[in-house]
């Protein structure tokens, strides 16, 4: 289940990303469905998870089309509300030929999600195994959802905010963030090495996080758990030589992580993370956001994934 944001993606492709004040010629333009929460939901659904969303859409053509899209992906939309006089969330994405991106979002109707919406969706919370939340909706609603849920909750602190409320960090089962988000949350200058990632994980555990996963792009991911605070594990990424578009790779990872944790609870964490790395690696080889996410038969079945203590 997802308590989250949905929106449209306007993707522009150019040889490189523009500098401040610069205008570039692009070579391709695409529209598609996006928003972190919806991306994560669709990523899990494509692998075979039973998913549902608690969210808001605008009462507009984009919102109408998005509802149909989610239904086509077998997502339960019973607790998605279309709001009058509000626009559906939008993201503008610029993608370079190397696959890197810059993203600006306007949350629109997503900003109306409230704690009352969480309470109305109690039937979903009672039967779900995994909850995913992000920072693209009001934080009070996110905190309400995390506190109400009794299963595994994953908090993706994106977009990251300085001085992240400690109650949010403490309320999630798993804090999952990328290297940029981890740097902002911990006040670090940058996180570009495994050593820096380990220090950031330590910091986040000290801030009250129960379990921490930091994704590191081509380096894979590192994690540590409160029950073993001295053990830091690195799970390498699947090597990709033909990167096309990294947009949505982090969402593919989180959606896959939720799927594997729900369906294979007996497996160790490095297996869940390794499998999620594999799904993210598939997504970066294909253009678009949700369009790049694989179905289960398009990725290898769970095998032994490498891991190393750091």
Helix, strand, coil percent values for the chain (each to nearest 5): 40, 25, 35
SS3 32: strand
Residues 150, 180, 259: CA angle, nearest 5 degrees:
35
Q: What H or E segment, with its residue span, contains residue 102? A: strand 101-106
247 in a known ligand binding site: yes
- 242 flagged as catalytic: no
SS (H, E, C) 194-249: HHHHHHHHHHHHHCCCCEEEEECHHHCEEEEECCEEEEEEEECCCCCCCCCCCCCH
Q: Is 270 annotated as a binding residue?
A: no
218 labelled binding-site residue: yes
- Three-state DSSP state, 264: coil
Tell me: is residue 180 an annotated ligand-binding position: no
User: Is 53 labelled as part of a ligand binding site?
Assistant: no
Residue 286 marked as a ligand binder: yes
Annotated binding residue 36? yes
Q: Is 19 labelled a binding residue?
A: no
Question: Annotated catalytic residue: which of 78, 126, 167, 251?
Answer: 251
* Residue 97, annotated as binding a ligand: no
Distance of CA 169 to the CA centre of its chain: 16
Q: Which residue shows structure tokens 């253009």?
A: 287
Is 220 flagged in the annotation as binding? yes
**Binding residue positions for substrate:** 35-39, 136, 251
**Binding residue positions:** 35-39, 136, 178, 215-220, 245, 247, 250-251, 277, 283, 286, 288, 292
Residues classed as catalytic: 251
**Binding residue positions for K(+):** 245, 247, 283, 286, 288, 292
**Binding residue positions for ATP:** 178, 215-220, 250-251, 277
């Amino acid at each position: 289940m997802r308590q989250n944001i949905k929106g449209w993606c306007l993707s522009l492709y150019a040889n490189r990303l523009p500098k401040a004040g610069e205008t570039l010629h692009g070579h391709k333009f695409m529209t598609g469905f996006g928003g972190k929460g919806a991306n994560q939901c669709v990523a899990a659904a494509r692998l075979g998870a039973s998913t549902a969303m608690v969210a808001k859409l605008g009462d507009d053509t984009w919102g109408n089309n998005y509802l149909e899209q989610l239904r086509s992906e077998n997502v339960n939309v019973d607790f998605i509300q279309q709001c009058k006089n509000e626009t559906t969330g939008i993201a503008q994405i610029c993608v370079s030929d190397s696959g890197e991106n810059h993203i600006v979002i306007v949350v629109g109707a997503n900003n109306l999600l409230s704690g009352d919406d969480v309470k109305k969706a109690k039937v979903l919370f009672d039967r779900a195994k995994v909850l995913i939340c992000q920072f693209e909706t009001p934080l009070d609603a996110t905190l309400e959802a995390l506190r109400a849920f009794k299963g595994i909750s994953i908090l993706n602190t994106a977009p990251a905010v300085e001085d992240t409320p400690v109650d949010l960090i403490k309320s999630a089962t798993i804090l999952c963030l990328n290297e940029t988000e981890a740097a902002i949350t911990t006040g670090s200058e940058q996180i570009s090495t495994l050593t820096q990632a380990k220090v950031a994980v330590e910091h986040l555990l000290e801030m009250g996080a129960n379990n921490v996963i930091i994704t590191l792009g081509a380096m894979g991911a590192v994690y540590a758990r409160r029950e073993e605070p001295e053990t830091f594990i690195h799970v390498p990424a699947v090597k990709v030589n033909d990167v096309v578009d990294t947009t949505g790779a982090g969402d593919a990872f989180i959606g896959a992580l939720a799927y594997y944790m729900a369906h294979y609870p007996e497996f160790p964490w490095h297996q869940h993370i390794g499998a999620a790395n594999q799904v993210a690696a598939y997504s970066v080889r294909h253009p678009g956001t949700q369009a790049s996410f694989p179905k289960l038969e398009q990725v290898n079945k769970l095998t032994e994934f490498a891991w190393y203590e750091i």
